[in-house]
Amino acid sequence: MFTILVAEDDRELRELFCTVLSENGYRPLEAGDGEEALKVMETEYVDLIISDIMMPHMDGYELTKEIRKANMYLPVLMITAKDSSFYKKEGFQAGTDDYMVKPVDVNEMIWRIKALLRRSQAAHERKLTVGSTLLYCDSYCVKREDEEIILPPKEFQLLYKLLATPNRTFTRMQLMDEIWGLESNATTHTLEVHIGRLRERFRNNPDFQLVTVHGLGYKAVLL
């Protein structure tokens, strides 16, 4: 059973999240702010954290930074009250893995948790399995049956990002920020070229397809 720590200063919302987590087979732990969350983690093994941004004593940004400083790579799902690129950027720079905007759809929260845990487990194992296709992080190798393809690092990271959360649409800016970095001079044309190369390399792969979501970005669809 996965253990999930909910760091949220709103007691009613915190209790709602914990109830939903319990109903979906997870073991929830509670904390009213970032400081309490760190104390809980001193005595409990945690698989994932759900953290509000605005909390007393220690906010979600600082909590995430402290976790990353300690070289802890458990997934962090950040909750924000404001749908602004500024807050999202701050969260990603702090080290968060995903975010949701209040009011939170608890069903979507569970879907995102499942995806984050799957990605975290794959990262720990240093490989990702998609049907009969295997992606090996250490060697940037994609293998299916007797065929092996060694990808350039950015192509591998892009493919891994899309396949780790199938059917989720990533905007062009999300992919640019996460694969090339916020300070990179790469353009959306660079992203399009990489997507084109991946499509060409895996056009006959029966396990997945890279799909353009017009006006938004890209997603991987499992076949």
Name the pTM for this structure: 0.57
Let me know whether 100 and 139 are in one domain. Answer: no
**Per-residue pLDDT, 48:** 93
173 and 218 assigned to the same domain: yes
Q: Parallel, antiparallel, or unpaired: how do β-strands 27-31 and 3-7 relate?
A: parallel
Over range 67-96, report the average pLDDT.
77
| Banded pLDDT at 165 (limits 50, 70, 90) | confident
Q: Are residues 62 and 171 in the same domain?
A: no
Both 166 and 79 in a single domain? no
- Count of the separate structural domains present in the chain: 2
Taking only the tens place, the pLDDT of each residue in 134-151 is 998 878 899 998 899 999
CATH number of the domain at 170, please.
Answer: 1.10.10.10
**Which helix (H) or strand (E) element contains residue 55?**
none
Last residue of a domain, one of 85, 106, 122: 122
Give the pair of three-digit tokens for residue 74: 């458990």
Q: Identify the CA nearest to 119 among candidates 87, 85, 166.
A: 166
Please state the rounded mean pLDDT for residues 32-59.
Answer: 90
> Who's near 181: CB < 8 A, 6+ residues apart?
none
Of 77, 106, 122, the last residue of a domain is 122
Domain with 55 in it: what CATH number?
A: 3.40.50.2300
Same structural domain, 57 and 116? yes
If one compares 133 and 68, the residue with the highest pLDDT of the two is 133
User: Would you call the peptide bond into 103 cis, given omega within 30 degrees of 0 as the criterion?
Assistant: yes
> What is the per-residue pLDDT across 188-212, written as a single tens digit (0 to 9) for each?
899 999 999 999 999 999 999 999 9
Q: Supply the pLDDT for residue 195.
A: 96
Same domain assignment for residues 103 and 50:
yes
Structure tokens at 67: 């976790």
Domain that holds residue 207: 128-222
Using alpha carbons, select from 59, 183, 2, 68 the residue that is nearest to residue 78: 59
Q: How many CB atoms lie within 10 A of CB 54?
A: 16
> Which of 87, 122, 157 marks a domain boundary?
122
